[in-house]
Structure 1
């Protein structure tokens, strides 16, 4: 009798359903767990894209000058100055007033990517302007060479620091990708700089631009795919929603641009089309990263699930 009662109790226990419903990834009053950055499009994604284009173009322009390609050097340096000027304008527009940018220059805080980036831009932009003026007009060549050397040193940092800027936030799709994000941003900047030179430079001088763009695209796409694989479910916003659409567009444009750059060395129209595609691919990726990050900040599951997984891993 006792054994029958015990068996019956076990059956009932197995048949019991949990009284607490499955947890949903919600927060009080439907609010996100995180406060998303108060950044807006197109200002901030444009700022991210143009900074990468500027920094990489300075490096390409210095290489063109050193190898006797004056037209490509002038185009790259002018592109760098134009891009950093527009990048600053986009940043100031998002800040709301120029005084806020100047206030960031009152102190240098090495632990703040925004503070370091502001000082980088403040030092880089005048040098880029001098280098571009000298290359385009042919005047003040000694000063222009010194300015070019300065932009060559600061250019890589200008192209990369925005990766640290977004990764230093609590936004899951950005912060969790901090290992690969600098390679993605630098590669994307090189893709855009090489594409700009292919778009505007003469065919006889465009060889290094082609190599620069193809290598940049390889680094960008390789690092981005590695980042998505490592992030797991946190990478979902890079494949869905508005961010996913931009990322897919960037992948298509990048593939078309690389194919065109490798296969069309003499055809001016196709070479320029491939250059335009590479520039557009770099821009699309930055817009995709921006929107994916904002989506991940607004959806509680991208914050809650990784935290639970880390906690379970520590317990085990």
Structure 2
């Protein structure tokens, strides 16, 4: 009816503007940088680095190097602004830990550390060679180091607008690069050396470990002690026939979501599981996720 008043349940139809506002209000889930985006970003920066090294005889970047640098920066910004990988899945609590987990190595930092180490070793070799052949005295070596450090500092303080002509030095001061290079390589290769086995946390809280012939369930009652040192979680068998098991704890990632499993969260999940299996837990460093556990009884609960 024309003169009928709207009831309390009457809702006006949504206009196109209302639909647009609703769509804009819905938050889209954050995503990770896709694997192919990482490859593209690495390729861009390595291309720029190769061009810079190939034309290092010049005192300035040419048009090709500047174009490669602009492309690398643009690709990096685009990857951060519009990641096209899988949605980000939070794993901040022990209850969130489910799925398959494996240790991964940051090969980018490893290569960076290797480059620093090689540069430092090259500088040390130049120092030894020049001193042994008489091309330089000890005083000359220290003078060259001072010139390099002072010139580099002046360039940095001037916002790189001042040219100290560092290419005219012998670069003896670069020997110091060995220290951070070795530390970076060692820090990132520890998870590779102490990689441990891939493991899977089931929905009921039980843990399976990948073996040579597939997945096997981890039976906690077969182990007398468990030690976590923020790098690995080591299960010590209670008897000789049972093999020891080492699981990763540093740089552990979920295969399904790509989420990094922090050592503290991993420790909390294992502590809950071990406590239900009759282990007495001694927390050594809660921030690093290190603890010790000893089996004191046969009590076991299947409640997750």
TM-score by length of 1: 0.25
Greater fraction of residues in strand: 2
- Name which structure has the greater RCO, CA cutoff 8 Å, separation 6+: 1
Higher helix share: 1
TM-score by length of 2: 0.26
